[in-house]
Amino acid sequence: MKRALISVSDKTGVVEFAKGLIENDFEIISTGGTYKKLQENGVKVTEIDEVTKFPEILDGRVKTLHPMVHAGLLAKRDNPEHMKTLEKLNIQMIDLVCVNLYPFKETISKDGVTPAQAIEQIDIGGPSMIRSASKNFKSVYVVIDANDYEKVLASIKNDEDNLALRQSLAAKAFRHTAEYDSIIAHYLSDLNGEEFPDVEVLGYDFHQELRYGENSHQKAAFYQSAMPSEYSIASAKQLHGKELSFNNIKDADAALRIVADFDKPCVAALKHMNPCGVGVDDESIYQAWRKAYTADTMSIFGGIVAVNREVTKEIAEEMHKIFLEIVIAPSFTPEALEILESKKNIRLMTLDFTKSQAADKYEYVSVMGGLLVQERDTTVDNLDEFQVVTKKAPTPEEMKALLFGQQVVKHVKSNAIVISTTDKTLGIGAGQMNRIGSVKISIEQEEQAEEHKPLIMASDAFFPMDDCVNYAAEHGITAIIQPGGSIKDQDSIDMADKYGIAMVFTGRRHFKH
C-alpha cells in the first residue's frame, strides 16, 4: 500500500482528495488540524507521531522534521542501497505529499499584525516536505494546489507512470516555496529598513495570458505582484468589455499614476503612456471631464480615461459619443453603466481611488540582463520651495497654474513640456530628442485650443539654451516653471526678463523615460 502525507492550511477539497486516495489504495498520514478535519469526516487517517514515534513539540513547530518522513520522501526507489537503508531502519516510503503553507501572506496583509505574530506564520516543516518530495519527483507526487487534486487522482486511478505530470507539479511546488520565501524576505527586509538588499527576490502570480504583447507577433502575459497594491491596474475590477491588452495595461497604469497626484476631482486622458488632456475642478467631476476632453479632442480618440470620482450619466453620455479603450473610476452610476455598456469594445473598470497613497513605493524596470529599481516619483512640488528668478513674479493665478502644470509634467515622457491654465492642460510636448521640439509641439496644440490667458509653461528639466524661453514668449506664455541647473540658466532668465515673463525654479527635475 502506498502512503500519502497530507498537511494543509487551506483545507478546501482535502476531504474528497483524501477519500479519493484511499479508494486507490493509499494510506493517509496527517498532522494537527488536517488530521482532525479528516478524522471528523470519516477518513481513515494515521497521525504523524505514530510514524515518527516522536511527539509534536514546541507548539507544533517541530512535527514533520524527522528522518522517518524525509527519508521516506527522498529515497531513490531504483537505488538498492537506499532501499536497504529504509528496510534496515524500518522506514516506509511516502509516495505523495499534499501540503500548503501557513498563511504568512494573508497574516501580514491584516491591519495591526505584530512582527511576532507574523513570524509565527512562517512555515518550516511544510516547505521542507515540499522540497524533499519535489527533489524526488521521479517517484513522489507533490501537490500544493487544490486545483490539481482531480488531475492527480486521475493519474493515480489510471495507474499512469506520469513523469511529466510529477515533474510539472515539482516545478510548481518550487515556484510556490520560492514565492513564499520572497514574501518573508521582503517583510523582514522592510522591518530592518533595507532598501536595496544584496539579492532582490520578487514574487509574481500569473494573472492572465494576453492576446499579444506590444505588437501582434509578440507573446505576452500579465503577472500580479505576490503582495499586490490595492491601487493598481492588477487590483482593478473589470465590469465590461474584452480583456485588456498589453498596451492597455501600461496606459491604464500611467493614467492611475497621474490622478493619484490630485485630491480634487480630476480626469486624465492618455494615449501611448502620455497624457493628452488633464483637467481638475474644485467641485465638479463633470467639469473636470470637460476640461480633460476639450484639451485635445483629437488625441483622446481611442484613449484611456481615469476619473477619480464616480462617473455620472452626464459624463457617460459624452463619453458614449467617442471611441475610448478604457474608463477606470471608483464607480459608475447605474445610468452611466447602462449607457457605456451599450458600446461593445469599451472596457469599464473600478478601483478604490482612496488607496492611492498606498501604491507601491518602488518600481521595477527590466533591461537586458538586469533590473532597475527605484522609488516612484510621488513628490508633489511645494510652493515654499520655489524660487522666483526673474524681475517679474508670477501673479497668484499664474502661480496656481504653474503648480498644476508642474503636477502634470512629471507624468509626461522626457523631454516634457506642458502648457496649461490653472486647471486644464492645453498643449503637451513629449518624448522629443531636444527640448525646443517639445516646446513647439505643445504650443502648436495650445494654439489650436484657443483657450483664454494666462498660459504657463512647465518643463520637466532645465533649458539648455534660451531658445525655449524665446519661443514661448513669442507665443503668449506669461510664466514658466522649470528646475533650473543649467550652466546657461542666466541666458534663460535674461530672455524671460526681456519679454516680461515670470520664471520660477523648483530645484527638482522630473525626468520620465
C-alpha 423/C-alpha 401 separation (Å) is 7
Q: How is residue 118 written as a grid cell?
A: 507574523
Catalytic residue, candidates 172, 240, 250, 272: 272
Has 135 been annotated as catalytic? Answer: yes
Among candidate residues 344, 347, 303, 295, the one with its CA nearest the CA of residue 324: 303
Nearest of 307, 296, 303 to residue 271 by alpha carbon: 303
Which one of the listed residues 2, 11, 135, 320 is annotated catalytic?
135
| Crossing angle for the helix pair 125-135 and 67-74, to the nearest 10 degrees | 30
Q: CA–CA separation, 315 vs 269, rounded Å?
A: 14
Rounded distance, CA 460 to CA 512, Å?
Answer: 8
Phi, psi of 453 (to 5 degrees): -85, 165
Q: Cell 467641485 appears where?
A: 283
Rounded CA gap, 142 and 170, in Å?
6
Helix axes 125-135, 163-191, angle to 10 degrees: 150
- Rounded distance between C-alpha atoms, residue 507 and residue 189, angstroms: 32
Annotation says 361 is catalytic: no
96-114 b/e (C-beta count within 10 Å ≥ 16 → b):
bbbbbbbebbebbeeeeee
* 3 state SS of 420: strand
Q: What is the C-alpha separation between 505 and 389, in angstroms, rounded?
A: 7
User: Backbone phi, then psi, for 442, in 5-degree steps?
Assistant: -65, -40
Integer Cα distance of 298 and 301 in angstroms:
6
In sequence order, what DSSP letters do the residues of 27-54 get, joined into one string? Answer: EEEE-HHHHHHHHHTT---EEHHHHHSS
Q: State the DSSP code for 62.
A: B
Q: Is 233 in contact with 207 (CB distance < 8 Å)?
A: no
Cell of 285: 467631476
Alpha carbon separation from 456 to 92, 439, 449, 470 (Å, rounded): 79, 12, 14, 14
Tell me the pairing of strands 266-271 and 274-280: antiparallel
CA distance 164 to 354: 47
Known catalytic residues?
A: 135, 272
